[in-house]
Amino acid sequence: MRRPLNMADGRREPPPYGRDRVRGSIGSNSPYDGGMGRGGGHPPTRGGYPPHGATYHTQERRPAWRNPSPGPSEGPPIPSTSAAVSTPAFSTNVHEPPPQPAASTSGLALARQHRPSGRGRRPLADTLRTRGPDAPSKHGTTGQQLLLQSNYFKLLKRVDWTLYHYQVEFVPTCPSPRLTQSLVNEHKKLLGGFVFDGVQLFTACKLSSDELVLHSQHDRTGDKYELHIQRVAVVDMTDETGLQVLNLILRRAMNGLNLQLVGRNLYDAAAKIPIREYHIELWPGYMTSIRQHENDVLVCCEIAHKTMRMQTCYDILRECQRHDRNFKDAFRRAVLGCVVLTGYNNKTYTIHDVTFETTPESTFDTKNGKISFLDYYKNKYNLRIRDAYQPMLLSRAKKKDTRSGDSELMALVPELCQMTGLTDSMRSDFKMMRAMADHTRLNPDRRIERLETFNRRLQTSPESQEVLKVWQMELDRRLVELPGRLLPQEMIFFSTTSNGVQAGENADWTAHFRDNPMFATVRLSRWYLVVPGRCQREAGDFLNCMITAARGMRFEISNCEMVPMPDDNPGTYIRTLDAIINKDPQMIMCVVSNNKSDRYTAIKKKCCVDRAIPTQVMVQKTITPKSGNVRTLMSVATKVVIQMNCKLGGVPWKVKIPLNGLMTIGFDVCHDSKDKSKSFGAMVATLDHDNRGTPKFFSTVSHHSNGEEISNYLPLNTVKALNEYRREFGELPKRIIFYRDGVSDGQLQYIYDHEVRSLVEKLGQIYKSAGIEQEVLLTFFIVNKRINTRFFDHRLNPRPGTVVDNVVTLPQRTDFYLVSQSVKQGTVSPTAYNVIYDTSGLKIDHLQMLSYKQCHLYYNWSGTTRVPAVCQYAHKLSFLVGQYLHQSPSNMLEKKLYFL
């Protein structure tokens, strides 16, 4: 599917069916001089049922950086190294063991709370149960029945064995996770099949006593340890703890495939795909998870790829030394914020700083005395560091590593750090991204083949089979088959009198714009075209194309006044805009020579923050005809005309929504690109009073700092939208549909406890004050597009409108999957919808069809989007503010889609 033009900045915008948010790469050699550089309650459910409430470490600590002059909170100064006095010192930073749990405390929470090492896993997410056994059916009936496959494998043997949960304490305390595992492994015969994570022990057979003391001995030092084992509970294999253990067992079985753990996922380094032309290689891998679904425990398996660059940090250092006079700053810019892989321990680190004062020749403290980095890596990993004078990279340790005793800052040698991920310049290289896509965008038949290969490897690996056999587990060799439905095609209406046109099998109605007007237009009579002098000819030709395209869609555009500029500096644009704004224009179009963000930021800040004027920014390349044929610009001109009409308050098309008095709200959050401690939450609401009328829009942005809860603003902004609805139509909406994007599974309980409850409370107050005593008809959706589930229709992509609400959904939720868009390359990604609050009284069929209808209303693209239009609008607005404005826009623009 061809991506829509983002006419607001002249670049292709990310596909409206989802944006892959990736870690940004910002950036930064020589040994000469240096520098461092709340509430409870339960959601209403569709039945009234209340809900129920391995990282690798060496025994010796990794080299750690310590500031020679710590602040008051950092403790006493650390002795300096054998280098100069001002050189930062290194220490193994051994921590005291944490307090041991009280004897009366028991349970999983205790074991997690008193974990003595950094091996502690993230807290298990509480399952927000929004559905009870007496709830109405969540399986819809509308549409054509389909038989689909999914990227799941069924666990053939039902997990009917009992899992016993024990807590293990070591006397004396053992600080090394590796050693604790080794000490427990000595008792394999006694324990049988077991999983151990440093404190918690899960066994398939009950031990001889609820309290047991075992004795182990360190095989190298001869130190003796006592293992105090106490039974905590019997685990239900369908709850979160049991499923976590199943995931650990599966991960252990996958060890037999000789995969490497990079981050959280396993990758096959032996099957890496080199793309030598661009000095990168792709590591294929797998993301797996086990979960109890509607009727069975299913294993989800998704294909993943890790991008590795064929260069180390040292290679980047040498490039900076060759090409930059101030190579130190250039090196910092190149590596700061990047993620690197250290092959000797197969771990990833984020680079937070660079120190030129410390080199591999510097020494750090160990329990056996001082040792240099050169000797440390030679003795421990048999690695010879070639350049003894290179600077050192500093990485802030993860919380789990600091809990295990590692220092806050880890010292890394550039020569041993392989770069991962892509830089911004790489991402903007279309040819390179196309070469990568040939390997990463797998069509359904190739994806199925890779999934079957994974299953076959797991079934034939002796080591994997041994693990599964011990735990009496057997995996089906076939992909899960499941029922689906294809919803009817939507009718697209271009006027109140037309019969409408079908959206088409691929849900793309672009061709119909040639023969139909837009649903509602606003006459454009006062507008200006700001253009650098050298772009005047291209701008004039494009302007003629726009007027021609607008005439065919019954959109009246008067000839604008062209304002030439002597240059394209940001300051020149600001001065020109100041002069034009005083003439009270309806709209200003600016042509820029390239994609540099400083001009775009200057224009948008002037017209979105300082003043409230809709703007259209075009890149010269976008309006330049191919091969000199002006007719090639008609497609671009049509999209621009549609977008300009929307920014003025017009509506290009509608779909039939048989609900009067409806307000649909979308919400998303984007982090500030300059200050990661800040973020901006954008809310966009569509106000539909009458199905035959023209919908109105309302948008608002809230600024959030660290520690501020979104729930503080979400009810207030919703009240603003309600007041706008009342001003427009003289009454409050009868029904509210809320789509909340950007929420992970682990945040569901928090979202309900804070955002939903405060929203319901505020809405109740508003409606009661208006004399409406009945409960507010509110449906609150969590929309999640970052999922690993995929569907296949006879080894092809499912068609737009495909709904799945059985087999792979979850029994404790009212949830469904919806494929709303068509793709021409790769495998289509469905979107997961989870109803966490619902008092609307609508059937599940109605909620599914309503969500699909909403995917037809994103006016930047004459086709369906992956998420409801209000979610995509909210994302577009939050992205504009977080990336470019860095402050809330003018309230004068809140009734227009100025951010398209």
Higher pLDDT, 735 or 127: 735
d(CA 863, CA 847): 20
> Which residue of the set 197, 365, 508, 668 is catalytic?
668
d(CA 31, CA 29): 6
What's the sign of the alpha-carbon dihedral 44, 45, 49, 53? negative
As given in the structure block, the two tokens for residue 58 are: 């060496």
Which pLDDT band holds residue 749 (cuts at 50, 70, 90)? confident
Residue 66 confidence (pLDDT): 53
Q: DSSP character for 863?
A: B
Angle at 654 between CA 653 and CA 655, to 5 degrees: 140
What's the distance, CA 434 to chain centroid? 22
What would the mean pLDDT of 284-294 be, rounded to a whole number? 90
Side-chain half-sphere CA neighbours of 281 within 13 A? 14
Do the beta carbons of residue 847 and residue 836 sit within 8 Å?
no
As given in the structure block, the two tokens for residue 2 are: 């061809």
> Which residue of the set 365, 401, 672, 741 is catalytic?
741
What residues contact residue 708 under an 8 Å CB cut-off, 6+ apart? none
What would the mean pLDDT of 522-546 be, rounded to a whole number? 91
d(CA 889, CA 881): 8
d(CA 165, CA 168): 10
d(CA 675, CA 673): 6
Q: Decide: pTM greater than 0.85.
A: no
**Which value, in Å, is the radius of gyration of the alpha carbons in the chain?**
30
What would the mean pLDDT of 424-442 be, rounded to a whole number? 89
Phi, psi of 471 (to 5 degrees): -95, 10
- Find residue 262's DSSP bridge partners: 265
Residue 708 confidence (pLDDT): 63
The count of other CB atoms within 10 Å of the CB of residue 303 is: 19
Q: Is 741 a catalytic residue?
A: yes
Angle at 385 between CA 381 and CA 386, to 5 degrees: 150
Residue type, 374: L
Do the beta carbons of residue 493 and residue 653 sit within 8 Å?
yes
Place of tokens 């106000």: 687
Residue type, 517: P
Closest listed residue to residue 651, CA positions, set 546, 494, 504: 494
Residue 562 confidence (pLDDT): 92
Residue 231 confidence (pLDDT): 92
The count of other CB atoms within 10 Å of the CB of residue 9 is: 23
What's the sign of the alpha-carbon dihedral 444, 446, 449, 455? negative
Task: Say whether pLDDT at 133 is over 80.
Answer: no
What would the mean pLDDT of 86-102 be, rounded to a whole number? 30
Distances (CA, A) of 275 to 308, 435, 861: 10, 8, 33
Residues 854-886 pLDDT 10s: 999 999 999 999 999 999 999 999 999 999 999
What would the mean pLDDT of 772-776 be, rounded to a whole number? 86
Highest mean pLDDT among 125-129, 131-135, 154-158, 221-225: 221-225
Strands 273-275, 814-819: pairing kind: unpaired
If DSSP states are collapsed to H, E and C, what string results for 554-579? CCCECCCEEEEECCCCHHHHHHHHHH
Do the beta carbons of residue 591 and residue 572 sit within 8 Å?
no
Do the beta carbons of residue 655 and residue 490 sit within 8 Å?
yes
Helix, strand, coil percentages in the chain from 3-state DSSP, rounded to 5: 30, 25, 45
The count of other CB atoms within 10 Å of the CB of residue 404 is: 23
Task: Say whether pLDDT at 99 is over 50.
Answer: no
As given in the structure block, the two tokens for residue 182 are: 């080794």
Q: Percent of the chain beyond pLDDT 90?
A: 53
Residue 169 confidence (pLDDT): 93
Domains and CATH numbers, the chain: 158-235 (3.30.70.2620), 260-440 (2.170.260.10), 521-648 (3.40.50.2300), 658-789+834-893 (3.30.420.10)
Closest listed residue to residue 759, CA positions, set 710, 708, 724: 710
Q: Please, what is the angle between helix 462-470 and helix 240-254, to 10°?
A: 150
Closest listed residue to residue 799, CA positions, set 830, 753, 761, 774: 830
Task: Say whether pLDDT at 14 is over 50.
Answer: no
Closest listed residue to residue 689, CA positions, set 659, 713, 709, 721: 659
Do the beta carbons of residue 656 and residue 488 sit within 8 Å?
no
- 3-state secondary structure at position 753: helix
As given in the structure block, the two tokens for residue 651 are: 């509506």
What's the distance, CA 299 to chain centroid? 22
Query: CB-based burial of residue 291 (10 Å sphere; 0-12 exposed, 13-18 middle, 19+ buried)?
Result: middle
Least confident residue range of 417-426, 789-798, 811-820: 417-426
Higher pLDDT, 389 or 162: 389
Q: What integer best gives the mean pLDDT of the chain? A: 82
As given in the structure block, the two tokens for residue 241 are: 């703890």
Do the beta carbons of residue 668 and residue 874 sit within 8 Å?
yes
204-212, long-range: CB within 8 Å, 24+ apart, which pairs?
Answer: 204/161, 204/162, 204/163, 204/164, 204/470, 204/471, 204/472, 205/164, 206/162, 206/164, 207/164, 207/166, 207/231
Phi, psi of 313 (to 5 degrees): -60, -30
Residues 476-500 pLDDT 10s: 999 999 999 999 999 999 988 878 8
Residue 20 confidence (pLDDT): 36
Q: Is 210 a catalytic residue?
A: no
What residues contact residue 794 under an 8 Å CB cut-off, 6+ apart? none
As given in the structure block, the two tokens for residue 100 are: 């041991």
Task: Say whether pLDDT at 220 is over 90.
Answer: no
Residue type, 231: R
Which pLDDT band holds residue 711 (cuts at 50, 70, 90)? low
Residue 406 confidence (pLDDT): 56
Do the beta carbons of residue 77 and residue 89 sit within 8 Å?
no
Closest listed residue to residue 806, CA positions, set 147, 23, 27: 147
491-496, long-range: CB within 8 Å, 24+ apart, which pairs?
Answer: 491/655, 491/656, 492/653, 492/654, 492/655, 492/856, 493/519, 493/653, 493/654, 493/655, 493/656, 494/518, 494/519, 494/652, 494/653, 495/519, 496/692
The number of helices, as runs of H, and strands, as runs of E, in the chain is: 21, 40
d(CA 244, CA 488): 40
d(CA 564, CA 772): 57
As given in the structure block, the two tokens for residue 897 are: 């889609």
What would the mean pLDDT of 652-664 be, rounded to a whole number? 93
Task: Say whether pLDDT at 100 is over 60.
Answer: no
Highest mean pLDDT among 39-48, 117-126, 784-793: 784-793
Closest listed residue to residue 126, CA positions, set 836, 871, 840: 836
